[in-house]
């Protein structure tokens, strides 16, 4: 005999619901039901892998979801040069509009190191300046944006540090919008957070993937400037994001590439040459792609658990995800585990597809995927009143027990007292 709960989640995917539920779940406090080890045991050969053949002092590779694959000196305080412009771009995106017109200030025109020759009084949009700042890494464009958004360079730096704090970047201290100030520090770990936010922004993602940009000039012909990311168009799947160089920082590169559904993020800091940073990134990402693969973590056909239903025609309801969940998983390390967070109980009526919680998958302590958990089927409420009473004669009084389904706890609370 087939348990109806085994097919409930599959049935949910195939049904066409006429209307969505009008209210969210009614429940007591949330709790984690289980941490279950999935059947994704790594093959014996994955027990220990040789590290990638890179020689830079600081490097890391991780999935775009933030799951670490390999790192060296991840938290080391470093100068990162123009890589800090990712933080500049995030602040600009948060505080202004792409079509706003910026009048190039004298402070931007005065920059003669890593500039594209912007002229005081020249009018460019925020979008144009973001492109000029991120593609050829122009310092005068960074300064023009900073003055436009912050009023002063110092005011904008305060915004940068506030944004870094909001992102949880404990080891990042911005000192200017372009990364030239010697007081500026960051870490490879913090750079991965910035890069993930840049790649999560559709506008910035498109910009850092551009191979060149046209820079207009009021006095001369427009000029074409190539991206400083020399792997764009020359490394399979390369999508972004930012380079940097100063003598103290060395040659730095934060790069993102995607192959076969796997999107990796690499950081190389302190390379000794321009060519060296790109060859190191190639080796780092090649190694990462060789050992990271897309895996099915949670199937939509799987019942993740049975949630108690209060005042329903059934005492429980199956919960599942609305779609299968896959993620990039590193071959080595621990097995994948899942944690299911749902209410202690839910009050009928329950509607199929009603959100009830969340399931998350973890690898080596890092969350690699998450998905909403929903009810797999309808559970109507019973037609009798919610509160039921049992009475019994106890000596000279009456003991009355009242079912209170909305009280905290999985099975509600029976309140009892003696009546004279």
Residues classed as catalytic: 82, 85, 137
Three-state SS letters, 265-300: EEEEEEECCHHHHHHHHHHHHHHHHHCEEEEEEECC
CA 126 to chain centroid, in Å, comes to 25
Two tokens at 90?
């995030």
Q: 3-state class of 339 per DSSP? A: strand
Q: Which of 343, 358, 357, 91 is nearest to 204 (CA)?
A: 91
> 248: buried, middle or exposed (CB in 10 Å: 19+, 13-18, 0-12)?
exposed
Q: Are strands 316-321 and 292-298 parallel, antiparallel or unpaired?
A: unpaired
Q: Where are the alpha helices (DSSP H) in 291-411?
A: none
- The pair phi, psi for residue 280, each rounded to 5°, is -65, -40
Give the Cα separation of 149 and 100 in Å (integer).
11
- 148, 102 in Cβ contact below 8 A? yes
* Distance between CA atoms of residues 402 and 50, nearest Å: 64
């Amino acid at each position: 005999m087939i348990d109806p709960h085994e097919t409930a989640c599959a049935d949910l995917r195939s049904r066409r619901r006429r209307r969505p539920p009008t209210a969210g779940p009614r429940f007591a406090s949330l709790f984690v039901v289980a941490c279950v080890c999935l059947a994704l045991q790594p093959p014996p050969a994955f027990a220990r892998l040789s590290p990638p053949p890179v020689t830079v002092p600081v490097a890391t590779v991780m999935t775009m979801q933030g799951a670490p694959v390999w790192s060296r000196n991840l938290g080391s305080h470093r100068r990162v040069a123009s890589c800090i412009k990712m933080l500049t771009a995030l602040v600009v995106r948060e505080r202004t509009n792409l079509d706003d017109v910026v009048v190039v200030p004298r402070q931007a025109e005065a920059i003669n190191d890593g500039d594209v020759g912007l002229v005081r009084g020249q009018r460019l949009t925020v979008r144009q300046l973001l492109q000029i700042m991120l593609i050829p890494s122009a310092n005068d464009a960074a300064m023009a944006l900073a003055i436009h958004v912050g009023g002063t360079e110092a005011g904008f730096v305060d915004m940068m540090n506030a944004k870094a704090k909001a992102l949880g970047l404990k080891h990042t201290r911005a000192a200017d919008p372009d990364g030239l100030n010697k007081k500026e520090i960051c870490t490879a770990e913090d750079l991965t957070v910035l890069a993930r936010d840049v790649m999560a922004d559709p506008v910035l993602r498109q910009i850092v993937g551009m191979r060149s940009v046209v820079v207009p000039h009021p006095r001369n012909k427009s000029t074409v400037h190539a991206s400083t990311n020399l792997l764009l168009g020359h490394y399979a799947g390369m999508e972004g994001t930012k380079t940097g160089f100063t003598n103290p920082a060395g040659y730095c590169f934060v790069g993102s590439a995607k192959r076969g559904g796997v999107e990796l993020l690499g950081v190389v800091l302190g390379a000794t040459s321009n060519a060296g940073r790109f060859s190191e990134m190639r080796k780092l990402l090649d190694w990462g792609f060789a050992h990271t693969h897309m895996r099915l973590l949670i199937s939509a056909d799987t019942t993740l658990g049975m949630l108690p239903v209060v005042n329903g025609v059934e005492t429980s309801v199956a919960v599942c995800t609305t779609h299968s969940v896959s993620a990039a998983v590193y071959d080595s390390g621990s097995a994948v585990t899942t944690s299911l967070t749902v209410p202690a109980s839910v009050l009928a009526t329950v509607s199929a597809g009603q959100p009830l919680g969340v399931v998350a998958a973890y690898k080596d302590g890092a969350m690699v995927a998450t998905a909403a958990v929903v009810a797999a089927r309808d559970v109507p409420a019973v037609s009798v009143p919610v509160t039921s009473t049992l009475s019994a004669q106890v000596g000279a009084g009456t003991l009355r027990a009242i079912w209170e389904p909305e009280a905290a706890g999985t099975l509600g609370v029976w309140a009892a007292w003696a009546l004279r």
